[in-house]
Amino acid sequence: MINASLKELADALAARRVSAVELTEHCIERIGRLDKGLNAFITVDPGRSLEQARAADARIAAGHAGPLTGIPVAHKDIFVAKGWPSTCGSRMLASFVSPYDAHVVERFNDAGAVVLGKTNMDEFAMGSSSETSWFGPVRNPWNVDRVAGGSSGGSAVAVAARLAPVATGTDTGGSIRQPAALSGVCGLKPTYGTVSRYGMIAFASSLDQGGPFARSAADLAVLLNVMAGFDARDSTSLERAPEDYARELERPLPGASAGKPLGGLRVGVPSEYFSAGLASDVASAVESAIDELKKLGASVIEVHLPNTGLSVPSYYVIAPAEASSNLSRYDGVRYGYRAPEYDDLVDMYCKTRAQGFGAEVKRRILIGTYVLSHGYYDAYYLKAQKIRRLIARDFTDAFRQCDVIAGPVTPTVAFALGAKVSDPVQMYLNDIYTIAANLAGLPAMSIPCGFGSEGLPVGLHLVGDYFTEARLLGIAHQFQKATDWHARVPAGYA
Ligand code: GLN
């Protein structure tokens, strides 16, 4: 049951071979038994989950079930959920219980899905390894001495270790795709504005985007159908006609022929991505995956993204600038942590923020405040915004020649816990391949495509032009019909 697809689970629920309560209990039992060694969850609340599962069973019995009714979903703890602790991995919000639901949570609840729990993450989603959490690091089920990737590491691991069939995450600079790659699951960051940010605790608002984690592209499509859609409470939510993200899973491309489902597809491979920083084991798994796309009928061409090298430096100006502004709300007055002892109001602010935030969050606030300050704004912030435009233009140019861009998600397989925590620049360099899609607002995904050294998973990165999620999912689905990387289960979690 724990390896079943969403379609198989929905069929089993409809045929009453399993109930939503049994499915939820099964996940809760696995979390109880296996999560001690992984730390993927910050909060589980079986009473609450089972109450929703009972309601889902009643809905199924009444014949009103949808594709997600009765399906347990693990939500990244950046999405607030009514009545649930919503911590964002921070001491600042460690005892904050949300009075309302995020739009994403609301959508899943309306669909009859079950909130299985809240997953662990880097504090305020700042990190590439899920080690900066106030609740301790997440461990990788493929090797518990390795990182899970971040910042949505808990969600990726919950899916990889079969603690949850599916999960949600957010991606500001790679936080869905990078942990998906390092933990061996599928993750999709949609076009900016597709998924409402309402109730998604803000990190860098012009980059943050919610998206799904699952074990297959077909499951991601089912999840995105529920998560996506206009929401007037998010001023950057896109007002577009609803679409069925599963529509291209089985629809042949115009140039397809027998045995060549990807016939006519032009895959662009950026030469900049296969350079010195890329580990050879990752490069060879990604190259084999690109060969597989060729076997499926795609043609592969070289493209150029000349400003790739500027994406990390510009992101690490823009994201901290926005974060320093967004995080000013945590002042000990309105909600969240307040220092227990202080002299006056200013001292209360200072002590609250000194005690409530961890080192990485403080580093971001300092950088952000600096680059926005008078005298440095033009030199750093404004320049980074100009570079952001150039990076977006690189993609526009590339998409004149190709339909999709393929490459690595991460420069290496999962690294050892603790290996990069004291060297922020090394940590930031993990984001070299993922950040550009956020700066440009493009949809991008990671799917498992092989294993590197010591049997650790490698992800294939697919980046599409705006609003081409359905096609990306279709390409990934064809790849997954021809290969079984996405079906591999870490030893001990089958
Ligand atoms: N690793 C990047 C950062 O630390 C991206 C994080 C994210 O996407 N939330 O900012």
Give the model's confidence band at 254: pLDDT under 50 very low, under 70 low, under 90 confident, else very high.
confident
> Please, which pLDDT band fits residue 252 given cuts at 50, 70 and 90?
confident
pLDDT at 346 over 90: yes
Does residue 131 fall inside a structural domain?
yes
Structural domain includes residue 210: yes
The predicted pLDDT at position 251 comes to 86
| Assigned domain for 479 exists | no
User: For residue 31, how far is its CA from the centre of ligand 1 (angstroms)?
Assistant: 26
234, with CB counted inside 10 A (0-12, 13-18, 19+), is middle
Whether 90 has a pLDDT exceeding 90, the answer reads yes
Distance 216 CA to ligand 1 centre (A): 23
Which of 235, 208, 42 minimizes the C-alpha distance to 121?
42
- Out of 128, 155, 175, 196, which one is annotated catalytic? 175
Look up the pTM and report it. 0.98
Task: Give pLDDT, residue 253.
Answer: 85
Q: Give the model's pLDDT for residue 431.
A: 93
Residue 331 in domain: no
Q: Which of 3-17, 127-141, 253-267, 349-363 has the lowest mean pLDDT?
A: 253-267
* Any domain includes 491: no
State the residue for tokens 């493009």: 442
Ligand 1 neighbours, Cβ below 6 Å, are 125-128, 151, 171-175, 203, 319, 431
177 φ, ψ (degrees, to nearest 5):
-70, -40
Span 112-120, average pLDDT: 98
- For residue 180, the enclosing domain spans 6-255
Average pLDDT over residues 395-405: 98
Q: Rounded to 5 degrees, what angle do the CA atoms 424, 137, 327 make?
A: 60
List the CATH number of the domain containing 125. Answer: 3.90.1300.10
More confident call, 401 vs 421: 401
29-77 pLDDT, tens digit each: 999 999 999 999 999 999 999 999 999 999 999 999 999 999 999 999 9
**Mean pLDDT over residues 87-108, rounded?**
98
* pLDDT of residue 491 exceeding 90: yes
**Structure-token pair, residue 392:** 């977006």
In a domain, 13, yes or no: yes
- Determine the residue of 122, 209, 318 to mutate for testing ligand 1's pocket, defined as the one with the most ligand atoms within 8 A of the Cβ atom: 122
- 315 Cα nearest atom in ligand 1: 10
Percent of the chain, pLDDT > 90? 96
**Nearest partner of 52 among 27, 29, 20, judged by Cα:** 20
State in Å: Cα 175 to ligand 1 middle.
5
CA of 169 to the centre of ligand 1 (A): 12
Query: Is residue 2 over pLDDT 90?
Result: no
Q: Number of structural domains, the chain?
A: 1
All residues at 6 or more sequence positions from 423 whose CB lies less than 8 Å from its CB, including other chains: none
Q: What local confidence, expressed as pLDDT, does residue 147 receive?
A: 98
- For the stretch 446-471, pLDDT in tens is 999 999 989 999 999 999 999 999 99
Tell me, yes or no, whether 423 lies in a domain: no
Inform me whether the pLDDT recorded for 275 exceeds 90. no
pLDDT tens-digit profile of 155-212?
999 999 999 999 999 999 999 999 999 999 999 999 999 999 999 999 999 999 999 9
- The set of residues, in sequence order, having a beta carbon less than 8 Å from that of 234 and lying 6+ positions away, is 103, 196, 197, 198
Which atom in ligand 1 lies closest to the alpha carbon of residue 207? Answer: 8
Give me the pLDDT at residue 318, please: 98
User: What is the Cα–Cα distance from 175 to 386, expressed in whole angstroms?
Assistant: 24
For the chain, the distance separating the N- and C-terminal CA atoms, rounded to the nearest angstrom, is 10
Give the pLDDT confidence of 382-395 residue by residue, as tens digits: 999 999 999 999 99
Q: What is the 3-state secondary structure (H, E, C) of the chain?
A: CCCCCHHHHHHHHHCCCCCHHHHHHHHHHHHHHHHHHCCCEEECCHHHHHHHHHHHHHHHHCCCCCCCCCCEEEEECCECCCCCECCCCCHHHCCCECCCCCHHHHHHHHCCCEEEEEECCCHHHCCCCCCCCCCCCCEECCEEEEECCCCCHHHHHHHHCCCCCEEEEECCCCCCHHHHHHHCCEEEECCCCCECCCCECCCCCCCCCEEEEECCHHHHHHHHHHHECCCCCCCCCCCCCCCCCCCCCCCCCCCCECCECCCCCEEEEEHHHCCCCCCHHHHHHHHHHHHHHHHCCCEEEEECCCCHHHHHHHHHHHHHHHHHHHHHHCCCCCCCCCCCCCCCHHHHHHHHHHHHCCHHHHHHHHHHHHHHCCCCHHHHHHHHHHHHHHHHHHHHHHCCCCCEEEEECCCCCCCECCCCCCCHHHHHHCCCCCHHHHHHCCCEEEEEEEECHHHCEEEEEEEECCCCHHHHHHHHHHHHHHCCHHHCCCCCCC
**pLDDT value of position 105:** 98
User: What average pLDDT is seen over the chain?
Assistant: 97
Residue 87 resides in a domain: yes
Question: Residues 298, 267: contact at Cβ < 8 Å?
Answer: yes
Non-local CB neighbours of 124 within 8 Å, separated by 6+ positions: 78, 88, 89, 90, 201, 203, 323, 327, 361
Q: Looking at 151, 237, 311, 314, which residue is catalytic?
A: 151
